[in-house]
Structure 1
């Protein structure tokens, strides 16, 4: 697996060299755009707006438009020059509890691995964070952005998640009229939640729709007709309480159902 980024975690006078690897991957099926008439691939060409010449990646530089059609060219080397050593490292700003941060602030997640010589300090940081049930909030410059990060300890390592700033997050503008919930309804809902409470195991989940999509593609390749999915029955409209009760009954394991007691017959003679 290729390293996405190398950095140094710094807090106090401690410096921990790390390598960051992407922790997620895209497993979705992706379609190409084709010409409807002959099914040939659609290609996009980069051309110069001035001379019309087709441009390759090696001919492209970064430019900032400071006035109408007036650009200043900035190279990657110049961008790196203005970074201080502090900005090249991940500076821990403070520590916080994981449940204090709304999930909306998390962006992309990486796995952090210590580089040679940093193993002891890395493990010390991980163990201390796990013991205190804390995460570290830090900052570093990635590309051209001052990036906020959460350093999250796990049993077998450390995850680093890039974060959005407060002004990146849209306000929760949509609201709704909250109806009254009865104590009985709330109790039933809590009972249903408790009956479905199990430890989170990510291996238990899979993208089932992608499997359907792959089956559709295989069907098309083999020249067979695509059959429409069977419609699900809407069912009878029932009250919220009845729906909660029925849901709780569905979650009960079969072993919890009491076996039918044998019928008592007349005792046999001589017994």
Structure 2
């Protein structure tokens, strides 16, 4: 796997050479678009409006429109030339409590791996953050933008999570967000939370819809008729008394046994 970025974590006068590797991948099934009559795959061809010819990747350059119909061309080499060592560094500006970062700010995760010679310094940084229960916040240039990030210890590892800037977070719709609730309603809701409480284990969760989608595709390949499964029970009513719903949930919900401490997944945050 190729590194997404090579650089150095910088805080104070300490530089730790590291590499970043994309920590996640998407596994959903992707469909191609086909012409309905010929069943040929639809192509998306890049063409030049002037010469009408098809363009190859090497025929395309980056251009910024500064006036209508007027562009200035910028090459990848020119973009790299304006990056200073500070831009290339993963510069830590501060340390903070993790719960100070609203979850809506989290964007994309990377694994942080020390380059040769940086192992001890990276482990020292991780251990210090674990002991103080802090995450590191700073900026680095990735691609053509300066990204805000959080360095987050988890298990024995360190992750870099890019964050949205405040200006990128959309305002929530203006609605009545905090209506009055009764003590009895809150007690029932708390009981339901306690009943479903257990340590998070990511291995318990799988994309079951993708599994059903793969089965559907295989049945289509084999020429079988696709029949929708019958669901037990009817659809829930849109109008239901909240107290009745909470009480019924407590009766029907069967909590999974809580696992003893120490079996917590390595992937869970420290």
Q: Is the shorter-chain TM-score for this pair beyond 0.5, marking a shared fold?
A: yes
Query: 2:177 & 2:104 partners in 1: Cα distance?
Result: 23
CA drift at 1:239: 3.2
SS of the aligned residue for 2:71 comes to strand
CA drift at 1:199: 0.4
Higher relative contact order (CA 8 A, sep 6+): 2
Query: What's 2:16 paired with?
Result: 16
CA drift at 1:235: 5.9
Measured against aligned partners, the alpha-carbon deviations of 1:167-219 in whole angstroms (never above 9, x if no partner) come to: 01101124236442110111111011011110010000000111111111111
Contact 1:126–1:154 at 8 Å: present in 2 too? no
1:240 to 2:242 alignment? yes
Query: 1:177 & 1:152 partners in 2: Cα distance?
Result: 31
Query: 1:10 & 1:69 partners in 2: Cα distance?
Result: 43
Contact 2:196–2:256 at 8 Å: present in 1 too? no
What is the Cα-based RMSD across aligned positions, in Å?
1.8
Map 1:1-271 onto structure 2 (within 5 A).
Answer: 1-176=1-176, 178-231=178-231, 232-234=233-235, 239-251=241-253
Contact 1:18–1:115 at 8 Å: present in 2 too? yes
Number of positions where the alignment pairs a residue of Structure 1 with one of Structure 2: 255
CA drift at 1:243: 2.3
Query: 1:34 & 1:235 partners in 2: Cα distance?
Result: 37
CA drift at 1:35: 0.6
CA drift at 1:233: 1.5
SS of the aligned residue for 1:44 comes to coil
Query: 2:86 & 2:24 partners in 1: Cα distance?
Result: 28
Contact 2:152–2:158 at 8 Å: present in 1 too? yes
Structure possessing the higher radius of gyration over alpha carbons? 1
Unaligned stretches of 5+ residues in structure 2: 258-270
The answer to which of 135-144 and 241-250 deviates more is 241-250
CA drift at 1:61: 1.1
Contact 1:192–1:248 at 8 Å: present in 2 too? yes
The answer to which of 86-95 and 45-54 deviates more is 45-54
Query: 1:10 & 1:176 partners in 2: Cα distance?
Result: 45
Query: 2:141 & 2:5 partners in 1: Cα distance?
Result: 11
Unaligned stretches of 5+ residues in structure 1: 256-271
TM-score, normalised via structure 2 length: 0.90
Query: 1:89 & 1:104 partners in 2: Cα distance?
Result: 25
Contact 2:106–2:161 at 8 Å: present in 1 too? yes
Q: Do the aligned partners of residues 70 and 178 (structure 1) sit closer, same or farther apart at CA in structure 2, a change above 3 Å counting? A: same
